[in-house]
A = this chain, B = another copy of it.
């Protein structure tokens, strides 16, 4: 049994839905389908979810919202017209939206219900379309499916019992179409996951039904071993472990909303990234374990926008609690850190610049000076991190040599290095303006 999730671009218009229907028909194991709301049809297009958010904001600000509702309806109307489906769904959307807006619920709950209209309606459309093709298919609301979540509008967490409810879907003989992005609180209220939450639904459903495979259909043939905007036509990755995926997605790889993977990861369900527009392409499969590969490096990720707080103090390393106190100061300011490479008497804390404000920085530096009495404290800016990723790297002699040689060839100074035991990555910190040169040199070294 496979769970197939189709993303926004895969369900953006009638033509895309025809591809989806044909993909579903191609493999009898594709029994549970999870869908996003219609995404962009062209680069300047607006996603249906964004249209619904605008509608909600207009309503809450007591501005006219009729035109915005009309635009949503037209978006769906163009799909149902092209697919020769009845107009009934359009009326349901209109009534549904008006019902939400004029309900007694809080604004937060109203907004959640509004946002979810895109996925919910698309699931109804796809189910009707499959039926019109003579395929036995049912739309299934997450409440009926038993997807229960915590009462946090816009940030739902799935409740454990949902998995048992979802397991019942294995008894179904027909194809089940479930809208992504939302579940229901125990009080019966619709609550959405965080943005990108259709991936979360897909992963939860795959875990619940104990799928053999969770297929995630998007608009790329595969995950590439390096950012294609830095290296032309890079190699495709055929297989990745969860850990590798996570290391890559951390620094510049945005194929996946990585929290979304947790349910599938915990239930050990393989995940396949595939292309709706080219379903014959192998795609990239994400698994918990894989055989050792001849090249232990699977990918090179990079990201800019890091800073480093450098603290030095003679005999720091004799001072029990120094590192802990430093991290406590950051934690008090709600600043999460990335790495803490250290010397004997100094420590650098690498932080995403977006986690820092000038005010926080000033307070942190003041407290470090006052509470830790360091010899020096300074902030280095405009840093980039490059991750060389691959399971099996930890047992391969000579990889650090190859990686550092690539930086040398590109004439790039390595500011920071970090690699722990049993790890699946090596981290290098460099000046941000050298990141593309470095990534290209590493790509040549490991993949050409």
Interface residues of A (CB under 8 A from B): 242-243, 246-247, 250, 258-259, 262, 265, 308, 310, 312, 314-315, 317-318, 320-321, 323-324, 327-328, 330-331, 334, 336-348, 378, 380, 383, 387, 394-398, 400-401, 403-405, 407-408, 411-427, 429
* A396 engages B420 (CB within 8 Å): no
A347 to B423 Cα, complex, angstroms: 9
A318 to B378 Cα, complex, angstroms: 25
Contacts of A398 in B (CB 8 A): 408
CB distance from A63 to the nearest CB of B (A): 36
CB distance from A372 to the nearest CB of B (A): 14
* A346 engages B422 (CB within 8 Å): yes
Contacts of A314 in B (CB 8 A): 242, 246, 262, 265
* B324 engages A331 (CB within 8 Å): yes
A427 to B317 Cα, complex, angstroms: 14
A348 to B342 Cα, complex, angstroms: 13
Contact of A421 among B246, B308, B427 (CB under 8 A): B308
A373 to B346 Cα, complex, angstroms: 30
Contacts of A320 in B (CB 8 A): 331, 334, 336
* B310 engages A336 (CB within 8 Å): no
CB distance from A17 to the nearest CB of B (A): 33
Nearest 7 A/B pairs, CB to CB: A348-B420, A341-B420, A324-B327, A401-B408, A400-B404, A401-B404, A417-B419
* B336 engages A318 (CB within 8 Å): yes
CB distance from A364 to the nearest CB of B (A): 14
Residue of B nearest to A336 (CB): B320
Copy tally for this chain in the complex stands at 2
Other A-B pairs, 4, CB within 8 Å; known A320-B336, A383-B421, A417-B417: A340-B340, A341-B418, A380-B422, A400-B400
Contact of A425 among B334, B344, B397, B404 (CB under 8 A): B344
Contacts of A403 in B (CB 8 A): 404
Contacts of A348 in B (CB 8 A): 420-423
CB distance from A39 to the nearest CB of B (A): 26
Contacts of A419 in B (CB 8 A): 341, 343, 414, 416-418
Contacts of A405 in B (CB 8 A): 401, 404-405
CB distance from A325 to the nearest CB of B (A): 9
A86 to B380 Cα, complex, angstroms: 65
Q: List 9 A-B contacts (CB under 8 A).
A: A250-B317, A262-B314, A312-B422, A317-B338, A324-B327, A340-B340, A343-B420, A344-B425, A394-B415
Contacts of A259 in B (CB 8 A): 315, 318
Contacts of A334 in B (CB 8 A): 320
* B340 engages A342 (CB within 8 Å): yes
CB distance from A412 to the nearest CB of B (A): 7
Contact of A344 among B247, B321, B328 (CB under 8 A): B247
Contacts of A429 in B (CB 8 A): 421
CB distance from A263 to the nearest CB of B (A): 11
> Known contacts A242-B314, A400-B407, A418-B417; is A343 also within 8 Å of B424 by CB?
yes
Contacts of A397 in B (CB 8 A): 407-408, 411-413
Contacts of A336 in B (CB 8 A): 317-318, 320
CB distance from A297 to the nearest CB of B (A): 15
Contacts of A404 in B (CB 8 A): 400-401, 403-405
A344 to B334 Cα, complex, angstroms: 18
> Known contacts A323-B327, A327-B324; is A246 also within 8 Å of B420 by CB?
no
A247 to B342 Cα, complex, angstroms: 12
A231 to B102 Cα, complex, angstroms: 83
A396 to B413 Cα, complex, angstroms: 7
* B420 engages A416 (CB within 8 Å): yes
* B343 engages A425 (CB within 8 Å): yes
A339 to B342 Cα, complex, angstroms: 6
A348 to B347 Cα, complex, angstroms: 15
CB distance from A417 to the nearest CB of B (A): 4
* B343 engages A423 (CB within 8 Å): yes
Contact of A247 among B247, B328, B343, B412 (CB under 8 A): B343
> Known contacts A401-B405, A421-B416; is A345 also within 8 Å of B310 by CB?
no
